[in-house]
Structure 1
Amino acid sequence: MSDPADPSAGAGDAAPAPLRRNRDFLLLWGGVGLTLLGARACVVAYPFLVLWKTGEARDAGLVGFAGLLPNLLVQLPAGALVDRWDRRRLMIVCDVGAVLVAGSVAAAVLADRIGLAHLVAAAFVESTLAVFYQLAERAAVRHVVPAEQLSAALGQNEARWRAAGLLGQPLGGLLYTAARWAPFLFSAVTHVLSLLALLPIRTRLQSEPDGPRPPLVAELREGLDWTWRRRFLRVLVSLIAGTNLLFQVISLTLVLIVRENGGSATTLGLVTAAGGIGGTVGALTGMRAARRVPLRAVVAGGTALWAVLVPVLALTGSPVLLGAVMAAMAYVGGLTNVAGGVYQVTITPERMQGRVSSLIQLLAFGTGSFGALAGGYLLDGLGVTRTLGLIAVAMAVLALFAAVSPALRHPDRVPAETDLPAGEPAAAGYMDAV
């Protein structure tokens, strides 16, 4: 029987063991899931902590900006370093650093010595560590599963991320209600548990280099050139960047809607948990839908649905209706992330996974830092209703662009086996479907 941790195990051997029996995949999946759970618990706590301390939406936006800024500053060098460094060791170091950062916030809140500068710095450092950690895991997953199970593994990873939001955010609200320092202590504990999960992993999480590495700048240039020549991927990522910028404003707006209607951190956690349910369902059904619907149609139709749903947020303070809207929006996001994620991993040679993923993360999520910063000022200056109106119009423009763009009618082809490094299996099937 083929080794379930060997990605080169082919269909010509006995069928690979299911993912639920793949020890190293489960350790990797569970360890990352624990860190996501802790991070999502803090998502609720950070804005409420800032608003409790200063009462200013712009301060909450500043902390959000600091937490997203590494997506702009760190992504590219992190991607190249993830391709160079031992990925398992790197993830362990990130876990240790995150324990120290989250622990410092918990201790400062407990001692009533928390300040805005501390929160800004903690959000920036924690997010920087998360960039390295998540890029390493994304590049590593194809080394712990057979090639034919890669799509299923990425679908489970997306479902894990959504489930972490489903469980982590209401838990974070409950913990914050009990004690303002509790979500941050919880985050530190989850990173300790993640560390314990990573230590027993036996599989090497990257291929051996064929020879001496070129200079770091040359590797970065190679990743940029490879990605730029994929027109479909380039335009797709640009669309995702635009929607992610808008969703950062929506996330901050949701905090204010709940707060202005007398809701607590627990209420916000429950509303976002509904989004977690929708996103999890979207992730679990994403591959089935993507095989029947072109990726361009998924992106254009999903963005159009978001444009319709955004104004509904301004018309209600009901947690039930807010949760329903967030669930529908997150369902589309989960489906799109799985389809787009499999597409990117499938067409990218293994030796460039870190660099290409980091560039896509930079383009897709780096704009979110400006969305968080601008969102605070928009909400202070225009209020909730007008801000959401602007977001709805912007979403509609992006949906129209996705529908008419010639670049999205012809997906980039999967590279031929001769374009891949020695021993790298060529992906098959998925790109023909989209």
Structure 2
Amino acid sequence: MRRDGTETGPPQDGPPAGARVSLWRNRDYVGWWAGHGLSALGTSVSNIAFPLLILYATGSVARAGVITAATMVGTLATTLVGGALADRVSRRLILITGPLVQAAALGAVAYAVHRGEFALWLLSALACVAGAASGITSGSTIPSLRRIVPKEQIGEATARSMGRDMAARVIGAPLGGLLFSAARWAPFLADAVSFLFASLGAALIRRPLGPDRVPGAERPGIGRDVAAGYRFVRDHAYLRFTVIWVALLNAVAQGFFLLLIALVKHRGGDPQTIGFVNATALVGGVVGAVIGPLLLARIRARTALLVSAWVFVESFAVVALVPEPWQIGAVLLVATAAMVPLNVILESYEVRLVPDEYSGRVSAVSRFGMQALQWTGPLAAGFLGDRFGVQGAVLVLMVLMAALAVALHLTRSLRVLDEPVDAVAELPVPETAGV
């Protein structure tokens, strides 16, 4: 690592050229995968514990929506800065220090809850700090992955990472319910510990993670970096459309997740039942992560995208009508199995399209745009749930999701999905790109 915070090392993507080897034999990838997996497990535990804490303390779906939104607002506020930093300072340093800040914030939440402090403003502020650290860290995640695995294995690595995260949620959802039932502070302490492992995993990666620097080159300011990433996304139809579409999808999905917890609670489920319903649903995510690469190899990506979206629409209607918590879980299992390939497709094509020197900035701008409306989902869903009932709120979200599915049929911006992901050519670097 140099004094300016950058790292030295080979500029090419992935490990050195050679025979294709299993990702599980790539030590750096395994360390990256395991560290992020433990962090994802802890996050899934606290994600279910935060709304449970407020629901059981106040009974208000709207207040539960506020604390859920707080983390998202914190993440959104720092996502663009995180992407710019990923292209100018050591990504390794970011991946080590970011989780340490998150560990401190979640540890403070655990301490406050242990002392009986349930003030919404305090818990929301700490959740916002953890989210802000997440936003900084996330800017280095995909650029670092590009250095750890070869480009031809990006799709496989992306699918495995999503499968890992889904598996973590499968375990974390019931674990969060169990820990919450045992002690309300326990889920947050578990999340704090998980971030320590994420930091350790990043520290153990041997390969330089970048960014690379040209000696003597002048680096533009962070504002110009962010603007360059924005222009890159704006000027390419696929990136522009997917950012807007996923932003709306995330708002609907986050609102749906909050309503799901309230729906199971209103139908007689205790915290453990809520956790196991979420786990049952997330098993579908693991299945989806497995079938995602298979779908990419056998059918057009755009066809898979359309099927995923319409299955998700139908799940809203069925979930609102079935009476038993286990039936809700079964329906969501199918829905999440359909939705994960959608995420695999969109992310894999973006990684293939964006050149390395723009990957941090474009990834951050894309993530910022995709998360820009996410925080509104829990707030709107909480308001609708208190005003019209949870079942009515789910049906309102179904109508919005149907409109998003129709948009996939009408747009011309997804023509790149007609090509196999391995055949997609990288977009050219703008002539005015900074180095």
**Letter in structure 1 aligned against 2:388:** L
Structure 2 CA distance, aligned partners of 1:416 and 1:184?
Answer: 42
Structure 2 CA distance, aligned partners of 1:83 and 1:409?
Answer: 29
Q: CA RMSD in A?
A: 2.2
Offset of residue 80 of structure 1:
0.7
Q: Among 259, 269, 281, which residue is 2:275 paired with?
A: 269
Equivalent position of 1:7 in the other structure:
14
Offset of residue 236 of structure 1:
2.3
Offset of residue 363 of structure 1:
1.7
CA contact (8 A) 2:89 2:211 kept: no
Q: Which digits, 9 at most, give the CA deviation of each residue in 1:182-208, with x for residues without a partner?
A: 101111111222223222221111241
Task: Tell me whether 1:402 sits opposite 2:403 in the alignment.
Answer: no
User: Using a 3 Å threshold, how does the CA distance of structure 1 residues 359 and 416 change in structure 2: closer, same or farther?
Assistant: closer
Equivalent position of 2:335 in the other structure:
329
Equivalent position of 1:87 in the other structure:
91
Task: Tell me whether 1:29 sits opposite 2:64 in the alignment.
Answer: no
**Letter in structure 2 aligned against 1:414:** A
Structure 1 CA distance, aligned partners of 2:185 and 2:431?
Answer: 49
Amino-acid identity (%): 31
Structure 1 CA distance, aligned partners of 2:50 and 2:146?
Answer: 34
TM-score (norm 1): 0.91
Superposition pairs for residues 378-389 of structure 1, below 5 Å? 378-389=384-395
Structure 2 CA distance, aligned partners of 1:123 and 1:80?
Answer: 23
Equivalent position of 1:360 in the other structure:
366
Offset of residue 45 of structure 1:
0.6
Equivalent position of 2:426 in the other structure:
415
Give the SS at the match of 2:213: coil
**Letter in structure 2 aligned against 1:81:** L
Superposition pairs for residues 122-271 of structure 1, below 5 Å? 122-210=126-214, 211-271=217-277
**Letter in structure 1 aligned against 2:16:** A
CA contact (8 A) 2:85 2:139 kept: no
Structure 2 CA distance, aligned partners of 1:352 and 1:102?
Answer: 32
Offset of residue 17 of structure 1:
2.9
Q: Which digits, 9 at most, give the CA deviation of each residue in 1:276-301, with x for residues without a partner?
A: 21111111221220233333323332
**Letter in structure 1 aligned against 2:186:** A
Equivalent position of 1:428 in the other structure:
none
Structure 2 CA distance, aligned partners of 1:180 and 1:416?
Answer: 49
Equivalent position of 2:4 in the other structure:
none
Give the SS at the match of 2:269: coil
Structure 2 CA distance, aligned partners of 1:244 and 1:417?
Answer: 29
User: Using a 3 Å threshold, how does the CA distance of structure 1 residues 385 and 113 change in structure 2: closer, same or farther?
Assistant: closer
Give the SS at the match of 2:375: helix
Structure 1 CA distance, aligned partners of 2:218 and 2:333?
Answer: 48
**Number of aligned positions between the proteins:** 416
User: Using a 3 Å threshold, how does the CA distance of structure 1 residues 240 and 418 change in structure 2: closer, same or farther?
Assistant: closer
Equivalent position of 2:349 in the other structure:
343
Q: Which digits, 9 at most, give the CA deviation of each residue in 1:276-333, with x for residues without a partner?
A: 2111111122122023333332333222222211011111231221111111111122
**Letter in structure 1 aligned against 2:384:** L
**Letter in structure 2 aligned against 1:228:** R
More deviation, 284-293/320-329: 284-293
Structure 2 CA distance, aligned partners of 1:260 and 1:119?
Answer: 24
Equivalent position of 2:3 in the other structure:
none
**Letter in structure 1 aligned against 2:320:** A
User: Using a 3 Å threshold, how does the CA distance of structure 1 residues 54 and 418 change in structure 2: closer, same or farther?
Assistant: closer
Structure 1 CA distance, aligned partners of 2:145 and 2:66?
Answer: 34
Task: Tell me whether 1:43 sits opposite 2:28 in the alignment.
Answer: no
Structure 2 CA distance, aligned partners of 1:30 and 1:420?
Answer: 38
Structure 2 CA distance, aligned partners of 1:39 and 1:409?
Answer: 36
User: Using a 3 Å threshold, how does the CA distance of structure 1 residues 19 and 108 change in structure 2: closer, same or farther?
Assistant: same
CA contact (8 A) 2:42 2:190 kept: yes
Superposition pairs for residues 288-307 of structure 1, below 5 Å? 288-307=294-313
Give the SS at the match of 1:406: coil
Structure 2 CA distance, aligned partners of 1:105 and 1:70?
Answer: 15
User: Using a 3 Å threshold, how does the CA distance of structure 1 residues 318 and 268 change in structure 2: closer, same or farther?
Assistant: same
Structure 2 CA distance, aligned partners of 1:384 and 1:100?
Answer: 35
More deviation, 390-399/180-189: 390-399
User: Using a 3 Å threshold, how does the CA distance of structure 1 residues 160 and 224 change in structure 2: closer, same or farther?
Assistant: same
**Letter in structure 2 aligned against 1:375:** A
Offset of residue 173 of structure 1:
0.7
Offset of residue 71 of structure 1:
4.1
**Letter in structure 2 aligned against 1:243:** L
Offset of residue 106 of structure 1:
0.9
Equivalent position of 2:322 in the other structure:
316
Offset of residue 141 of structure 1:
0.7
Structure 1 CA distance, aligned partners of 2:410 and 2:366?
Answer: 22
Equivalent position of 2:292 in the other structure:
286
**Letter in structure 1 aligned against 2:425:** V
Unmatched tracts of structure 2, length 5 or more: 1-9
Structure 2 CA distance, aligned partners of 1:349 and 1:6?
Answer: 10
Equivalent position of 2:6 in the other structure:
none
CA contact (8 A) 1:228 1:234 kept: yes
User: Using a 3 Å threshold, how does the CA distance of structure 1 residues 149 and 419 change in structure 2: closer, same or farther?
Assistant: farther
Offset of residue 6 of structure 1:
6.8
User: Using a 3 Å threshold, how does the CA distance of structure 1 residues 416 and 99 change in structure 2: closer, same or farther?
Assistant: closer
Superposition pairs for residues 63-82 of structure 1, below 5 Å? 63-82=67-86
CA contact (8 A) 1:71 1:361 kept: no
CA contact (8 A) 2:295 2:301 kept: no
Offset of residue 209 of structure 1:
1.7
Task: Tell me whether 1:117 sits opposite 2:121 in the alignment.
Answer: yes
CA contact (8 A) 2:91 2:211 kept: no
CA contact (8 A) 1:258 1:317 kept: no
